[in-house]
Each structure stands twice: as structure tokens, then as C-alpha cells.
Amino acid sequence: MNDERVVMHDPQGHPYAALPVRDFMKAWGSDSIGYAEGRFPLRTGFTKPVGTAAQWAAGSLPQALNWAQGAEAIPGFPSGNEDGLRELSEEATTRGLSFVTTAVLLDFSLRLGARRRSDTADLLRDYPELASLLARQAAVIGGAQISVIDSDWVSLARRLDDASALHSEIVEELRKLA
């Protein structure tokens, strides 16, 4: 950041994108987001972290379990756990998916879900069973892209069901570790 521009990794995945400071500060607010209250915090004054990545990973396991069990789900929105995956699977097989749902899956959810699980598997390599489950789930989720592109809802539903079953195994493994 300088007096004129903010350099960032933008939401579309472009590293080192630049935006004028004034536009960045305007965009940083959450005024146009219906569920948000107030503005997003802008954090500064970071300190050097203490500990190792392995220690941080171990310390994150209780919160990971909390999220995986759906304790952080927003009321009224589908959760990202087994229930949400099964709900989407059922929608795919009974009605097919809407244009909006298809677009979100293709442009955001599938690549983000696969990438996050793959990165997490790498981070948690000291927990081989958990890392293996996460890597397998990453492959299942990432592989679902072609099913959505082809509008092959039966194939997508199978993948979502597989991801759901793996999610259950991930929760069980987290319970052992947390």
C-alpha cells in the first residue's frame, strides 16, 4: 500500500491486483450486503506469530470440529456439512439445479471447496488419517465440476453423497484428535 493504491489478492483470485485507496475503502464496507451489520474491520499492526505451523494446526482442531459439525452454520442457510450436501444432492436428482446454483458451484464453491480441503490436507500432514480423508474429499469435490458443466445431476449427486460420507469420517477423525 502507498498513498495512491492498495495491492491485494482480489476475490476472483488475481494476486497483486491494485485499486485506488479511495475505491478500496469504499468497497471494504459492507453497506450493500444484506446480512452484514456495520463495516468490515481493517486490521493493522500485525505482530510476529509465536509457535510453528504444526502447533497452530494442532490448536485449530477443536474449532475445525466445531465448524465441521455445523455449530457455526447461519440459521436459514444450508450448512456445509452432511445435511447441506445431502440437500443439494437431493435437489440435483429431483429437480436439477437452477442456473444460479450451477453458476455458484462452477465459479466459486467447487474450486474453493476442493482447494481448501487440499490445502488443509497438506497443513495437517502430521495427522495422516485426517489428511488422507481431506485429500480424498478434495478430489471428489474438484471432480464434480465436469458433472455440473455437463448438467449430469445424477453424477453430481453421487459425488455429493461421496463428499457427505467423507465429511462424516472427517468429523469422526476430528473427534479423536480434538
What pTM value is reported for the model? 0.73
Using only C-alpha atoms, what is the Rg of the chain? 19
Residue 11 structural domain: 1-46
Residues 75 and 102 in one domain: yes
- From the number of C-beta atoms within 10 Å of its C-beta (0-12, 13-18, 19+), residue 130 rates as buried
Domain match, 31 and 96 both: no
State whether 69 and 149 are in the same domain.
yes
* Number of compact structural domains in the chain: 2
The closest of 106, 99, 78, 100 to 90, measured between CA atoms, is 78
**Angstrom distance (rounded) from CA 166 to CA 171:** 9
Kindly state whether residues 42 and 127 are assigned to the same domain.
no
Cβ atoms of 124 and 57 closer than 8 Å = yes
- Say if residue 8 is in the same domain as residue 78: no
pLDDT for the residue numbered 103: 95
Alpha-carbon span 134 to 128, nearest angstrom: 10
- Dihedral of the alpha carbons of 160, 166, 167, 172, in degrees to the nearest 10: 160
Q: Is the pLDDT of residue 124 over 90?
A: yes
Give 74-113 pLDDT, tens digit per residue.
Answer: 777 666 688 889 999 999 999 999 999 999 999 999 999 9
pLDDT averaged over every residue in the chain: 87
In this prediction, what percent of the chain has a pLDDT beyond 70?
A: 87
List, for residues 8-44, the tens digit of each pLDDT value: 776 666 667 788 888 887 777 666 666 666 666 667 7
Domain shared by 29 and 113, yes or no:
no
